[in-house]
């Protein structure tokens, strides 16, 4: 990578087939939103966050901005070992992308389920179009000392030999390196309570279950249903030792927790019988309003509703719901607010889709109608081409830009918060 004084904008980066990455000072980084290329504003650029990864896009050609031709160009240079390949960043948690990586790809085979953010080289380092969307440090890589993670995980596994859920989380911590599982064993922040091997949706980008021909799933789905005793024992161990602790049903390594509604009700009742403090949260596709009402009355504190889009066409095309409708999700949102729960919207961020004016208007309409406490701005972990083709995305609107969308939402809803993680909920809020 060149360290000479570079221009006033990041230059293109590309890779060879052995994974070596190079910069090309004559061409500038380009970004993508929806199906079109653009150059992210310099104000939108930050150094690549610590804990991020760089991915080489197979069978691809990078797209760059040529400042001399003043146009986007395909960088299809032949290298000694084949064509130049595109590079994308998979950012560390708590960072939200504002532009996708720009490349052309012939292959129809979907890329693995990660977010592919634009990346360039400038002033001796990598830069990305993104912003930190949550100040909370719970998943910052420098906060994890592996030696301590191993020691505390092993000690807890020894102490809770009979608890299958804790044993499952042990594998998540030591084998998969799941930050939520590590935080459970370190006794801090938020702990995961996966409970359901089954789901009533068939999301295109499901991280834990992918049919033949789909992209590889990145998480192994839990294969058993823990008991209320195992779930509550895990939750109580965490909530009793963590100030402002959070425990959450609904993890990437499971199906839909509301498919185990009665089990969750029994678990929340056991937790609340023994412990009033701490936050019991539910990450969910919110498909069952009645179950959410019952859980709220048992002592649930908050829910996080996941949506790829507030546009029912794109929602249905992505979630492919089985036995529920987009309308049920909205009814759950309404019930949750009526029951006084803290409600977050986990809005999968896809630049050029999430920030469309029509999408913005619809989102504002829903917030006006139901109220909302927090929007979690998580990057959509999916191959953008495969995703947009699969949901039939075609667009003739000029996107607002993700940062502008957030700014406009803040202006319109001053009490609405933005973040990335499930916050502890203050009891007087319940
Ligand atoms: S709701 Fe969750 S578990 Fe179910 S298909 Fe979608 S991502 Fe997978």
Residue 427 pLDDT > 70: no
Please state the rounded mean pLDDT for residues 361-377.
98
Tokens encoding 267: 């678990």
Examine the domain organization and report whether 391 and 252 are in the same domain: yes
Tokens encoding 283: 């990450």
pLDDT of residue 407: 98
Examine the domain organization and report whether 231 and 147 are in the same domain: yes
Nearest Cα residue to 397 out of 331, 353, 339, 337: 353
Tokens encoding 88: 């994308």
Residue 429 pLDDT > 80: no
Between the CA of 324 and the centroid of ligand 1 the distance, in Å, is 13
Examine the domain organization and report whether 157 and 283 are in the same domain: yes
Q: What does DSSP assign to residue 326?
A: H
Binding site membership of 256 for ligand 1 (Cβ less than 6 Å): yes
Return the half-sphere exposure (C-beta side, CA atoms, 13 A cut-off) of residue 80.
Answer: 2
Alpha carbon distance 318, 387 (integer Å): 8
Percent of the chain with pLDDT over 90: 92
Between the CA of 409 and the centroid of ligand 1 the distance, in Å, is 27
Q: What string of H, E and C letters represents the secondary structure of 237-251?
A: HHHHHCCCCEEEECC
Examine the domain organization and report whether 120 and 183 are in the same domain: no
The answer to whether residue 190 is domain-embedded is yes
pLDDT of residue 106: 86
- Please tell me the pTM assigned to this model: 0.95
Task: Write the CB contacts of 268 (distance below 8 Å, at least 6 apart in sequence).
Answer: 280, 295, 298, 299, 300
Q: Are 183 and 190 in contact (CB under 8 A)?
A: yes
Examine the domain organization and report whether 119 and 177 are in the same domain: no
Q: What does DSSP assign to residue 339?
A: T
Q: Are strands 246-249 and 190-192 parallel, antiparallel or unpaired?
A: parallel
Binding site membership of 255 for ligand 1 (Cβ less than 6 Å): yes
Between the CA of 322 and the centroid of ligand 1 the distance, in Å, is 11
Q: What is the pLDDT of residues 215-263, one digit of tens each?
A: 988 888 999 999 999 999 999 999 999 999 999 999 999 999 999 999 9
Between the CA of 167 and the centroid of ligand 1 the distance, in Å, is 23
Examine the domain organization and report whether 248 and 357 are in the same domain: yes
**DSSP H helical ranges for 242-342:** 261-274, 289-298, 312-319, 326-338
Examine the domain organization and report whether 293 and 391 are in the same domain: yes
Ordered DSSP codes for 46-93: EEPPTT-EEEEETTEEEEEEETTTTEEEE---EETTEE-EEEEEEPPT
Residue 4: pLDDT band (50, 70, 90) is very low
Please state the rounded mean pLDDT for residues 294-299.
98
For ligand 1, atom 3: residue with the closest CA: 255
* Maximum Cα–Cα distance across the chain: 69
Task: Write the CB contacts of 204 (distance below 8 Å, at least 6 apart in sequence).
Answer: 214, 318, 320, 382, 386, 387, 390, 391
The tally of domains found in the chain comes to 2
Binding site membership of 206 for ligand 1 (Cβ less than 6 Å): yes
Q: Are 376 and 405 in contact (CB under 8 A)?
A: no
Q: What is the pLDDT of residues 7-58, one digit of tens each?
A: 799 999 999 999 999 999 999 999 999 999 999 999 999 999 999 999 999 9
The answer to whether residue 425 is domain-embedded is no
Q: Report the chain's mean pLDDT, rounded to a whole number.
A: 95
Q: What is the pLDDT of residues 149-168, one digit of tens each?
A: 999 999 999 999 999 999 99
Instruction: Report the CATH number at residue 227.
Output: 3.20.20.70
For ligand 1, atom 7: residue with the closest CA: 206
Binding site membership of 285 for ligand 1 (Cβ less than 6 Å): yes
**Which comes out higher in pLDDT, residue 214 or 74?**
74
The answer to whether residue 2 is domain-embedded is no
Binding site membership of 217 for ligand 1 (Cβ less than 6 Å): no
Examine the domain organization and report whether 248 and 386 are in the same domain: yes
Examine the domain organization and report whether 323 and 351 are in the same domain: yes
The answer to whether residue 388 is domain-embedded is yes
Q: Are 287 and 332 in contact (CB under 8 A)?
A: yes
Residue 129 pLDDT > 80: yes
The answer to whether residue 429 is domain-embedded is no
Residue 5 pLDDT > 60: no
Between the CA of 24 and the centroid of ligand 1 the distance, in Å, is 40
The answer to whether residue 1 is domain-embedded is no
- Write out the residue range of the structural domain in which residue 87 sits: 9-132
The answer to whether residue 166 is domain-embedded is yes
Binding site membership of 382 for ligand 1 (Cβ less than 6 Å): no
Tokens encoding 348: 């999968």
Q: Are 355 and 399 in contact (CB under 8 A)?
A: yes
Alpha carbon distance 280, 296 (integer Å): 10
Residue 430 pLDDT > 60: no
């Amino acid at each position: 990578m060149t360290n000479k004084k570079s221009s006033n904008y990041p230059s293109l980066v590309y890779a060879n087939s052995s994974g070596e990455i190079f910069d090309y000072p004559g061409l500038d980084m380009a970004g993508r939103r929806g199906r079109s290329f653009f150059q992210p504003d310099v104000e939108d650029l930050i150094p690549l966050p610590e804990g991020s990864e760089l991915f080489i896009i197979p069978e691809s050609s990078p797209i760059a901005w040529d400042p001399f031709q003043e146009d986007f160009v395909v960088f299809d240079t032949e290298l000694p070992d084949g064509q130049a390949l595109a590079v994308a960043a998979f950012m560390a948690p708590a960072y939200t992308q504002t532009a996708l990586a720009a490349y052309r790809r012939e292959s129809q085979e979907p890329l693995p389920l990660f977010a592919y953010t634009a990346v360039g080289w400038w002033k001796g380092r990598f830069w990305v179009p993104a912003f930190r969307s949550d100040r909370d440090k719970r998943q910052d890589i420098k906060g994890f000392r592996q030696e301590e993670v191993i020691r505390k995980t092993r000690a807890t596994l020894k102490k809770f030999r009979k608890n299958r859920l804790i044993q499952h989380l042990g594998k998540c911590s030591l084998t998969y390196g799941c930050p939520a599982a590590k935080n459970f064993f370190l006794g801090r922040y938020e702990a995961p309570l996966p409970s359901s091997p089954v789901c009533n949706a068939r999301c295109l980008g499901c991280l834990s279950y992918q049919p033949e021909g789909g992209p590889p799933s990145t998480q192994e789905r839990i294969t058993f249903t823990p008991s209320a005793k195992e779930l509550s024992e895990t939750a109580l161990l965490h909530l009793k030792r963590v100030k402002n602790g959070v425990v959450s049903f609904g993890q990437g390594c499971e199906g839909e927790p509301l498919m185990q509604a009665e089990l969750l009700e029994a678990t929340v009742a056991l937790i609340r019988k023994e412990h009033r403090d701490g936050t019991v949260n539910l990450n969910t596709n919110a498909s069952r309003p009645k179950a959410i009402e019952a859980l709220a009355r048992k002592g649930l504190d908050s829910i996080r509703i996941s949506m790829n889009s507030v546009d029912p066409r794109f929602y249905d095309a992505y979630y492919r719901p089985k036995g529920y409708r987009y309308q049920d999700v909205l009814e759950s949102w309404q019930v949750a607010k009526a029951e006084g729960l803290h409600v977050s919207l986990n809005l999968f961020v896809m630049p050029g889709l999430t920030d469309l004016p029509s999408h913005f208007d619809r989102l504002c309409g829903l917030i006006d109608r139901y109220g909302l406490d927090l929007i979690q701005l998580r990057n959509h972990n999916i191959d953008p081409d495969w995703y947009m083709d699969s949901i039939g995305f075609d667009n003739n609107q000029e996107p607002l830009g993700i940062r502008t969308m957030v700014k406009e939402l803040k202006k319109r809803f001053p009490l609405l918060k933005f973040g990335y993680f499930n916050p502890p909920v203050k009891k007087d809020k319940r």
